[in-house]
Amino acid sequence: MARHTRSAGLCDHLEACADGLPTWPIADEAERLRSALNDFIGQDGPSTADLAGMLGPGVPDVLTAALLRHVEARRTDDLVHAGDLLAVLDAAAGRISADALGYMLRCFFAARRQAMVLEILTVLTLGRHRLTAEGRSLLIDGLCRRTA
């Protein structure tokens, strides 16, 4: 959940930046965005293999395998989008239009928020028999915050 908290903060930060367009972020703000995106790319979150391992031994069933593939695909997309944003922010401001930057920002934070919901739903679905009441409650609270 700590990784989700950091990701949610990044999404909020990027959304505020997008809301401030068409004015490009000033140098200090652009540097904070670059730093936050680099941190996101460097985060060591659990892999889908780690998630599968938490769910129990054995070959995953069709549902488990499908959900884990979706989680992995979303994570890969998020990393690519974060890299694209870094490339744009590293270039001189104004090389792309403010509209294009806004679109890129909104694509990233909307997709990342959806990915977090998918990760929570995956754990709730696949780990339902292994979760403590407190763990389940924590995940449901996180899910409710992400859909509000």
Per-residue pLDDT, 50: 67
Residues 60-81: tens digit of each pLDDT:
788 888 888 999 999 999 999 9
Question: Buried b / exposed e across 52-82, counting CB within 10 Å, b at 16+?
Answer: beebeeeebeeebeebbebbeebbebbeebb
pTM of the model: 0.85
The per-residue pLDDT for 11 is 94
pLDDT at 59 over 90: no
Give the model confidence (pLDDT) of 28-43 as tens digits.
Answer: 888 899 999 999 998 8
d(CA 11, CA 91): 21
Confidence of residue 93 (pLDDT cuts 50, 70, 90): low
On whether the CB atoms of residues 121 and 69 are closer than 8 A, the answer is no
CA 4/CA 19 separation, integer angstroms: 22
